[in-house]
């Protein structure tokens, strides 16, 4: 367009100059709209990728926690017997405390981070909210693992599409 206007033999009249400017602005507008559409597609792809990564990370974390509980459960002390009740209860309480400490060392930070990311997207569960910070025993740790997996598998749309 610029070369056509620049190579014109005579000076352009006002309507011709206006037509040239309008054509130039229309071309620039179309170019900008095309770039905007490409960037929007790229943004939507990145959002979908983040959504998938968060869901996968939550499910993997849940599986790792359940495997941890399974390993710990194999070494659990037996149920209390009437003859040795106090000693057996003490052993169970000590075992639960050790389980909670090992959970915190291995998974605590990642569980809190994953919970917070899910909560930012509106995915919440009251049981998970109650236990995720510092689960005290194997039962609470199991609740955390199962609720993380359930939230990750929910049909909730993490990132709703925006229309401008």
Q: pLDDT tens-digit profile of 88-128?
A: 999 999 999 999 999 999 999 999 999 999 998 889 999 99
Q: How far is CA 126 from CA 19, 99, 143, 149, in A?
A: 64, 23, 11, 14
Residue 7 lies in a domain: no
Residue 3 lies in a domain: no
Give the closest residue to 119 by CA, choosing from 70, 158, 162.
158
Give the closest residue to 78 by CA, choosing from 93, 90, 67, 88.
88
Q: Tally the domains of the chain.
A: 1
pLDDT at 154: 87
pLDDT at 117: 94
Residue 111 lies in a domain: yes
Residue 122 lies in a domain: yes
Structural domain for 84, as ranges: 14-152
Residue 53 lies in a domain: yes
Give the closest residue to 52 by CA, choosing from 158, 163, 161, 162.
158
pLDDT at 87: 95
Q: Residue 13, CB half-sphere, CA atoms under 13 Å: how many?
A: 1
Residue 2 lies in a domain: no
- CB neighbours of residue 117 within 10 Å: 15
Q: Residue 128, CB half-sphere, CA atoms under 13 Å: how many?
A: 22
Residue 5 lies in a domain: no
Residue 158 lies in a domain: no
pLDDT at 14: 75
Instruction: Band the pLDDT of 164: cuts 50, 70, 90.
Output: very low
Tokens describing residue 39: 């960037």
Of 14 and 163, the structure prediction assigns the larger pLDDT to: 14
pLDDT at 24: 87
What is the tens place of the pLDDT at every residue in 17-51?
788 888 889 999 999 999 999 999 999 999 889 98
- The alpha carbons of the chain give a radius of gyration, in whole angstroms, of 31
């Amino acid at each position: 367009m610029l070369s056509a206007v620049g190579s014109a033999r005579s000076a352009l009249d006002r309507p011709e100059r206006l037509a040239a400017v309008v054509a130039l602005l229309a071309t620039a507008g179309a170019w900008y709209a095309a770039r905007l559409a490409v960037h929007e597609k790229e943004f939507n792809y990145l959002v979908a990728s983040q959504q998938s990564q968060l869901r996968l990370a939550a499910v993997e974390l849940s599986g790792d926690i359940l495997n941890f509980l399974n390993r710990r459960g194999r070494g659990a002390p037996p149920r209390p017997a009437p003859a040795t009740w106090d000693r057996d209860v003490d052993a169970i309480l000590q075992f639960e405390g050790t389980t909670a400490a090992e959970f915190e060392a291995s998974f605590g930070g990642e569980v809190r981070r994953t919970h917070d990311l899910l909560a930012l997207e509106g995915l919440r569960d009251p049981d998970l909210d109650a236990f995720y910070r510092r689960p005290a025993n194997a039962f609470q740790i199991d609740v955390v693992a199962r609720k993380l997996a359930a939230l990750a598998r929910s049909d909730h749309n993490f990132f709703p599409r925006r229309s401008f």
